[in-house]
């Protein structure tokens, strides 16, 4: 099955720093989604991207849909302790029925 | 969890036992999904259902069966549980802009001894 290449696998940063993570795929996607998962919880949708080149913000989060349709990145500005968690990217294929997930980026914010 | 409920929250089974994981949504959405999540593997699709009465295999369907008897509920059954099925199971629904945003339930944590 297809999985997306997500990097980095883990990050340890100081509170207040900016964070950047990305996902790449060998396939073209119709939609890119970014999720955050807290321990013991289900993934929560942060940002959805629908068009190549689209740049979308949600508070301190900014994500972009790559021009080639094969990649996406997520930036978090001025990180805070509650940003701690695992971040997943997901891509929706053009058939529309299936989503493919990255392996996650574990973020630790040091106060 | 976007109106998606899952039961039970935790379950311990012995090898060979059977059980059904339940998922229900309260928003009348057509598409529902079952994923498993293992450490370092991300989320992998087991089965999905595009509408009531239809189901399709995902990436890892072996050892599982599903049932979508009505629009609201989508169940996942393990007929003979194996230790390799120890995982966290998530149900998801599809909604949003052009119906291409997935929203997840809280998960069921299953251990097979």
Gyration radius (Cα) of chain A, Å: 13
Nearest to B81 by CA among B35, B14, B22, B28: B14
Q: How far is A90 from chain B (nearest CA, A)?
A: 9
- What is the number of other CB atoms lying within 10 angstroms of the CB of residue B66? 23
Is the pLDDT confidence value at A96 over 80? no
Find which of A43, A50, A86, A89 to mutate to test the B interface (most B CBs within 10 Å of its CB): A43
Question: Exposed, middle or buried by CB within 10 Å (0-12, 13-18, 19+), for A62?
Answer: middle
Between B96 and A88, where is the model more confident? A88
User: What distance in Å separates the CA atoms of residue B33 and residue B48, rounded to the nearest whole number?
Assistant: 4
Interface check for A92 against chain B (CB to CB < 8 A): the answer is yes
Interface check for B87 against chain A (CB to CB < 8 A): the answer is no
CA-nearest residue to A103 within chain B is B42
CA-nearest residue to A89 within chain B is B42
Q: How far is B61 from chain A (nearest CA, A)?
A: 12
Is the pLDDT confidence value at A94 over 60? yes
Report the pLDDT value the prediction gives residue A48, as an integer from 0 to 100.
Answer: 93
Task: With beta carbons under 8 A apart, name residues in chain A contacting B44.
Answer: 1, 101
Nearest to B84 by CA among B32, B33, B44, B24: B44
Query: Measured between alpha carbons, how far is residue A12 from residues A9, A80, A87, B10, B97 in Å?
Result: 11, 12, 13, 31, 34
Task: Read off the pLDDT of residues B96-106 as tens digits, 9 standing for 90 and up.
Answer: 666 678 899 99
Handedness of CA A30, A34, A39, A41 (dihedral sign): negative
Task: Read off the pLDDT of residues A64-78 as tens digits, 9 standing for 90 and up.
Answer: 999 999 999 999 999
Are the Cβ atoms of B40 and A103 closer than 8 angstroms? Answer: yes
Report residue B39's pLDDT band, with 50, 70 and 90 as the boundaries.
confident
Mean pLDDT of the region A9-27: 95
Between B74 and B98, where is the model more confident? B74
β-partners of residue B36 are: B44, B89
Is the pLDDT confidence value at A1 over 60? no
Work out the mean pLDDT of chain A and round it to a whole number. Answer: 93
Report the pLDDT value the prediction gives residue B30, as an integer from 0 to 100.
Answer: 85
β-partners of residue A56 are: A63
User: What distance in Å separates the CA atoms of residue A6 and residue A27, rounded to the nearest whole number?
Assistant: 14
Task: Read off the pLDDT of residues B41-67 as tens digits, 9 standing for 90 and up.
Answer: 789 999 999 889 899 999 999 999 999
Report the pLDDT value the prediction gives residue B108, as an integer from 0 to 100.
Answer: 97
Task: Read off the pLDDT of residues B79-93 as tens digits, 9 standing for 90 and up.
Answer: 999 999 999 999 999
Are the Cβ atoms of B43 and A88 closer than 8 angstroms? Answer: yes
Handedness of CA A33, B26, B44, A87 (dihedral sign): positive
Instruction: Specify the 3-state DSSP secondary structure of A5.
Output: strand
Contact (CB, 8 A) for A64 and A54: yes
């Amino acid at each position: 099955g297809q999985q997306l290449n997500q990097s980095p696998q883990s990050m340890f940063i100081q509170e207040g720093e900016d964070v950047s993570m990305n996902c790449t795929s060998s396939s073209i996607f119709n939609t890119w989604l970014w999720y955050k998962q807290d321990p013991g919880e289900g993934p929560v949708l942060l940002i959805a991207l629908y068009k190549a080149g689209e740049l979308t913000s949600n508070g301190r989060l900014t994500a972009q849909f790559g021009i080639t349709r094969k990649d996406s990145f997520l930036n978090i500005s001025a990180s805070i302790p509650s940003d701690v968690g695992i971040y997943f990217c997901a891509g929706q294929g053009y058939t529309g029925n299936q989503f493919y997930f990255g392996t996650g980026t574990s973020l630790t914010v040091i106060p | 969890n976007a109106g998606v409920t899952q039961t039970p929250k935790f379950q311990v089974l012995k090898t060979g036992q059977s059980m059904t994981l339940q998922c229900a949504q309260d928003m009348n959405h057509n598409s529902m999904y079952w994923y498993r999540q293992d450490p370092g593997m991300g989320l992998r699709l087991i089965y999905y259902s595009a509408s009531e009465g239809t189901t399709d295999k995902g990436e890892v369907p072996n050892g599982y069966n599903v049932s979508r008897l009505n629009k609201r509920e989508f169940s996942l059954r393990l007929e003979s549980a194996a230790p390799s099925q120890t995982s966290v199971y998530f149900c998801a629904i599809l909604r949003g802009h052009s119906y291409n945003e997935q929203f997840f339930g809280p998960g069921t944590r299953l251990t097979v001894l």
